[in-house]
Amino acid sequence: MGPTATGKTDLAIYLHERINSEIISVDSAMVYRGLDIGTAKPSKELLKKFPHHLVNVCDPAEIYSAARFQKDAYLAINEIHNRGKIPILVGGTGLYFRALEYGLDKLPEADYGIRTTIEAEAEVKGWVYMHDKLSKIDPDSASRIDRNDTQRIQRALEVYEITGNTLTELTATPEKRPFEFPIKKFILFPNDRIELHKRVKQRFIKMLEIGLVKEVESFYNRNDLTPDLPSMRLVGYRQIWKYLDNQITYMEMQERSIIATRQLAKRQMTWCRTEKNAEWHNPYKSGVFQEILNNLK
């Protein structure tokens, strides 16, 4: 696990070639068919050579949840074990890892009407105001959620709007299914933030060069997709949709996408810092993949 642009897929393939294993993607973006360039999905050729479970499992019009991931991942893990192999789980979606390792609380499904209303208020008043609002409704959750963690602030407010109960109340008596298997956890965590930002920028510009705008345009022209769907709210896709809708210029789209990707990496790093029982490795260090393989042995 680890933030974006740290070589997680490369590591998974490196280990897979040296271990009797199969790869499971833990990525909330790669589940969508057709979202290839902007999600840094492995190429069709690479997926054919090194199959990944839970890649291309649903249409962009669908909503894929952590609960669905938990169910699908368990199925894949058991199948892999039955074949006498080791599952390698790789990705940057911390919530999915957490759902698998610790189980999920019984919370309501997302309500995208309410979510859109919350986002509209946040756009006008800012996320600091929304965090303060959450503090008055659910001080316990607000104390656990960082002011910059917009996704979790939004979810806590959404749960309250849907149920009339706070997140703290609903998770007080959880019915969870903890993970049944031993785990070896590796986190690719860059020591050099400047290097990470440089790679994020280079990668996004490369995505534009190989046709990301055209990829998003194919979804923009579909009648059944809207910018409020989770698939179209992904980093890069959201900004390009606005560009295609003539809301922003090409240069604004590029700059906003790079900034949003950096912010995503920051949130992922914040999440990684809370992980327990993990080994931390600098992804930009020479020989790091061999080092991780040696630790596995």
Domains in the chain, CATH or no CATH each? 8-104+176-296 (3.40.50.300), 112-170 (1.10.20.140)
| pLDDT at position 151 | 86
Q: Which of the four pLDDT bands, split at 50, 70 and 90, describes residue 175? A: low
SS3 of residue 197 by DSSP? helix
Task: Mark 125-163 as b/e (b = at least 16 C-beta within 10 Å).
Answer: eebeebbebbeeebeebbeebeeebbebbbbbbbbbbee
Q: Which residue has the higher pLDDT, 174 or 288?
A: 288
Closest CA to 72 of 58, 86, 92, 91: 58
Span 72-130, pLDDT tens digits? 999 999 999 999 999 999 999 998 999 899 888 778 887 878 888 998 899 999 999 99
pLDDT at 209 over 60: yes
Q: Which of the four pLDDT bands, split at 50, 70 and 90, describes residue 43? A: very high
E strands in the chain? 21-25, 52-53, 86-90, 185-188, 278-281
Span 12-25, pLDDT tens digits? 999 999 999 999 99
| pLDDT at position 106 | 76
Residue 233 has a CB neighbour count (10 Å cut-off) of 15
For the segment 140-154, the average pLDDT, to the nearest whole number, is: 91
Distances (CA, A) of 231 to 36, 60, 173: 12, 5, 32
SS3 of residue 52 by DSSP? strand
Question: What residues contact 15, with CB distance under 8 A and at least 6 apart?
Answer: 21, 88, 289, 292, 293, 296
Span 252-280, pLDDT tens digits? 999 999 999 999 999 999 999 999 999 99
